[in-house]
Structure 1
C-alpha cells in the first residue's frame, strides 16, 4: 500500500466535497468543528445494557476535536486565545438542540428532528455525524457552517425523521408575541410600585432607546425602560416597565415602575411598533449563496437559537450592537418566519444601501 501526504489545500478541498459547499474557509472550518464534535460525542458514548449512551465529558470532546483538526487549523490549540472555538461550537450545537448537558461537564445527544425551511429544504437537528447517517440521507445534505440542510424534494430516509414546528424548536413562550406583550404589560402594571428619582433612565420609544428628558408630554400607557446599574461591580442594565407623569417643566418623570427579566424586555422590544404603527424591521443582504442579517439589538433567549445556524461577521465585543450574522441563502424562509415570530419584519436591503 502506497501512502501519500496531503497538502492543507487538498484536505480543505476534500472537506468541501464532503460538505457540498465551497469557497469560504471560515464556513468549512465551522462545518468541520461541528462534525468532529458530533463525531466525538457519537463515538465516545459507551452504550450500556439498557441501550442508552453514557454522557461524554466536555474535556473528552475538546481533546478529540483538537487532536484531529489542529494539523489543519493550528490555532485550535494555542493557549493565548481569548475564546475557545471548540467550546464555542459545542455551545452553539447545544443551543440548536443537538446536544443536551446532563451536568456541569457532560453531554448526551438530543433527539433527531427536522425543521422545515420551505417546501424543498429542511434543517437537520441531530448530533449524529455525517458519516453515521444513512447514505440516502447523507447524499442530500449540504453542510454550511453549523447548518445541515436537507433537500426534501426526493424520496430518501429523511422521511422517517420527525418534523418539529419552528415555534416549538425556538421554544417560544407565546403563539403571538404582540398578544403576549399586551397581557404581560397589563399584568406588570398591576404589580408596579411607586418610585422616586431613578437615574440614567432610557425609554424604548418608536424602536429606539431615548432619554425621557425633553418629553414635555409623557407617552401614554405602560412603557419599557432601561437604566445603567452596577451588578457586583460590573456595569450592566436593569430593565423594567414604568408609567410616567408630567412634571410641568421640560421633562417627564417615572412615577411607578417594576423591574423585569432581561429576556422579557427583549421580547417586548420586538412586539413594540415603530412610530408609524408598523412592526420594526430587520434587514438582510444577499451575496451569492450567503446572506448577511443586520441585527440592531439582542434577540431574546432561548428563541434566538436560530442564530446559531449562522455565524457572526466582524470582530465585535459581546456587548457591542448592532451586529451582523451570515447564513446560507437557503435559510432565508426560516429566518423570515423566525424573525416574524419575534414581532419583526424581515426586509431585503440592496447592496450599497
Structure 2
C-alpha cells in the first residue's frame, strides 16, 4: 500500500497574513486585515450558535477568538488585553452594521444572509456565516475590506433564488423618515404642544438659517426653534438639546419662554430637516487614494443614519477622542452608498479641493 505524505510547513506572521489576504481577496491595510479576520471568526461563532438554536455570550466569543488571532498580532501573545478589547470593539461594529444581533444579558445571534445594492454590479453583503461558508458562486465574487464584505456581481444575477435576500437601503438603515424635511416639520409640530415654561438659560444657542447662533442673535425672530446649551456632566462637557419658544428683543437679544427636552439624535436630524430650502446643501468632503475613500465628518450625525460609517475605519483624532472633525476610511466602491445615506439628511458628498478657504462647518457642529 502507498503511503500518504502530509507536508507541514511553518509560516511566519507576514506569510500567514499574506495567505489570508489572498483567500479573502482582501483590500486594505494590515490593521483592517486584522479586523476582517476577527470579524470572520465572530460571524462563524454566531452562525454556528444560531444554527444550534442558542445565543452565544460575549465572554465565550472573546475567550475563543483571542487565542486564534493573537499569533497574527505584532505584540507579545501573553498580552491579550488589547486583543480582547479589539474583539469586543468588532462585536459592537458588527452589531451596528446589522451583521449580528445583540440579545439580553450580553448574548448574540447571527442575522440572515442578505445584500444591499450599492450600484449595478456592487452590493453590500450582510449577515450569515464567514466567507468560506458561502456557496462557491458567491465566494469568488466577494471582496473583503476590513469588517465589510462587498459582493461584486451584476445586479440581475442577484435575483436568483440561490442569492442572498435583497434588502432596501432604507430598511437596512432603519430610517425614521422618508423625507427629513417632512419628518422635521411633523416632529416640531408634535412637540410644540408639550412646551413648558422655562427659566432663562445663560449661553443658550439657537439654530436658525441653517446654523447654530450664539448671542447676539441678529435676525432671530419670535418663533419655535431648536436650541442647545452646554452643561457639565461626569463624563465632561456636553450639549443638552430642546425645542424652545423664543422671544426676540432688540439688539439681537432673545429669551426662551418655554421649552421641551429632546434626544441628541433627533436634534442632529433636525439640523438637516429645518435648514431653509433656499440655502445650499451642507457639504461633507471626501478624497480617494488607491483602495481608500476618506470621508470627513465635520459634525456628528444621528443614529441610524451614521450606521453607514460602521462599514469603515475611524482614523485616530490628534485633537482628542470624540472630537470633530472625524475621518473615516472606507472602500471606494461604497461611495454611492455613503452618498445616498448622506442625501437622506440633505448632505452632499463632494471631492476635497486641493486648497481653499475654510467654510462655516464649525458653526453646524
Cα distance in 2 between the residues matched to 1:147 and 1:12: 18
Match of 1:229 in 2: 231
Q: Report matched runs for 1:251-330 at 5 Å.
A: 251-273=253-275, 277-315=279-317, 317-330=320-333
1:222 deviates by: 2.3
Unmatched segments (≥5 aa) in structure 2: 1-5, 357-365
1:38 deviates by: 0.9
Change (3 A) 1:264 1:250: closer
Match of 1:344 in 2: 347
Match of 2:202 in 1: 199
Cα distance in 2 between the residues matched to 1:115 and 1:278: 30
1:116 deviates by: 0.5
Cα distance in 2 between the residues matched to 1:251 and 1:175: 36
Match of 1:90 in 2: 91
Q: Report matched runs for 1:146-157 at 5 Å.
A: 146-153=147-154, 155=157
Residue 333 (structure 1) aligned with residue 332 (structure 2): no
Cα distance in 1 between the residues matched to 2:276 and 2:20: 45
Deviations 1:117-158 (A, max 9, x none): 001100011141111111110110000011100012284778
Match of 2:362 in 1: none
Match of 1:64 in 2: 64
Task: With the length of structure 2 as denominator, give the TM-score of the two structures.
Answer: 0.87
Kept after mapping to 1: 8 A contact 2:244/2:256 = yes
Change (3 A) 1:8 1:116: same
Residue 7 (structure 1) aligned with residue 12 (structure 2): yes
- Matched position secondary structure for 1:84: helix
Cα distance in 1 between the residues matched to 2:97 and 2:220: 42
Q: Report matched runs for 1:71-220 at 5 Å.
A: 71-73=71-73, 75=75, 78=79, 81=82, 84-153=85-154, 155=157, 160-211=163-214, 213-219=215-221
Kept after mapping to 2: 8 A contact 1:245/1:255 = yes
Aligned residues: 347
- Matched position secondary structure for 1:283: strand
1:207 deviates by: 4.2
- Matched position secondary structure for 1:292: strand
- Matched position secondary structure for 1:128: coil
1:234 deviates by: 5.0
Change (3 A) 1:217 1:335: closer
Kept after mapping to 2: 8 A contact 1:216/1:246 = no
CA RMSD of aligned residues (A): 2.5
Change (3 A) 1:340 1:111: same
Cα distance in 1 between the residues matched to 2:97 and 2:21: 23
Unmatched segments (≥5 aa) in structure 1: 48-52
Match of 1:40 in 2: 45
Cα distance in 2 between the residues matched to 1:125 and 1:26: 21
Deviations 1:37-95 (A, max 9, x none): 11222345562xxxxx2111111111121111100115586366498111111111011
Cα distance in 1 between the residues matched to 2:84 and 2:10: 31
1:279 deviates by: 2.2
1:174 deviates by: 0.8
1:165 deviates by: 0.7
Kept after mapping to 1: 8 A contact 2:144/2:150 = yes
Cα distance in 1 between the residues matched to 2:172 and 2:21: 29
Cα distance in 1 between the residues matched to 2:178 and 2:277: 24
